[in-house]
Amino acid sequence: MADVGKNIRRFRTKKHMTQDDLAERLFVSRQTVSNYETGKSNPDLDTLLKIAEVLETDVDGLIFGPPDLAGRRKDIRRIAAAGCVLILLSALNYVLGLWNRFLTRDYFAPYVGFPTALILQPILLLLGGWSLLQLAKILWKAKPLRRKWVRPAFFAILLLLILYFLGVLPLCAEMSAAALGFPPVHPGYPPAFSGEIPAFFPEALFLWSSDFGYLFLDAPPTVLRCLWLFLGAVLWNGPGPSHGFSSAIRDTAT
């Protein structure tokens, strides 16, 4: 209950009440109210209920703070978690980049570059776009779009993202395995430094995935980065409210 005192003071000042005013309504001394607000003592449950009644709030508000403050704390925790993941993924991207340069220089086998460019870096940028919008929400109170077209657009983009990662998966999986030298192998493929390209997927699917992946590898990097950041912002925005039959009934009732 460390924040109860701060919350009492916050609600009290919002009501333009002094400590004497609140103490009078609670039938306690001003020093008791001061002790509550400074954390020297904590009100019992009955007193909390009385304080909530006087300050026209609820006990949850006194314990956890105003809804906007609780939501802000949750937003800060989310951006902190996203920042930690971004740091870890950036470190992994750096290490894989070093490994790919080593394989390319010494073994002419740039296999690590495929999963890095087609999976890891897009995930990094998606999370980066999400984090930028989350930061804008915290600093400038940015709000998600809530139009009717947002929901179908969100799920359409989400489906395209799923199809993209499924499309590059065969290529990235076999190239990653080739860098590690795992068997079995496709006969006739260029050898890796410790074997040939493994065959975890049918050859036709691997070739199709290769063609699909090269479409993105050959695209302008700046355009792709902006696209992934934008899609990350779309994921942050979410699907918006439901506008189905049940929500229409609910809106009519209210």
Q: What are the extents of the domains in the chain?
A: 4-65, 80-237
Q: Kindly report which listed range (57-66, 133-142, 191-200) carries the lowest average pLDDT score.
A: 191-200
Which residue did the predictor score with more confidence, 179 or 69? 179
Residue type, 236: W
Rounded mean pLDDT of 5-22? Answer: 89
The pLDDT, as a whole number, for residue 14 is 86
Strand partners, 104: none
Q: How far apart are CA 126 and CA 122, in angstroms?
A: 6
The pLDDT, as a whole number, for residue 242 is 57
Q: How far apart are CA 231 and CA 130, in angstroms?
A: 8
Residue 254 structure tokens: 């209210």
pLDDT band at 188 (very low <50, low <70, confident <90, very high): very low
Q: Kindly report which listed range (61-70, 79-88, 242-251) carries the lowest average pLDDT score.
A: 242-251
CB atoms within 10 A of CB 96: 19
Whole-number average pLDDT of the chain: 84
Strand bridging mode 195-196 / 191-192: antiparallel
Rounded mean pLDDT of 99-120? Answer: 88
Residue 153 structure tokens: 């657009």
Which residue did the predictor score with more confidence, 45 or 180? 45
Answer for the pair 8, 55: CB distance below 8 angstroms, yes or no. Answer: yes
Residue 246 structure tokens: 């049940």
Which residue did the predictor score with more confidence, 246 or 49? 49
Closest CA to 23 of 56, 6, 47, 58: 47
Percentages helix, strand, coil for the chain, rounded to the nearest 5? 75, 0, 25
Answer for the pair 133, 85: CB distance below 8 angstroms, yes or no. Answer: no
The hierarchical CATH code for the domain 4-65 is: 1.10.260.40
Rounded mean pLDDT of 128-153? Answer: 90
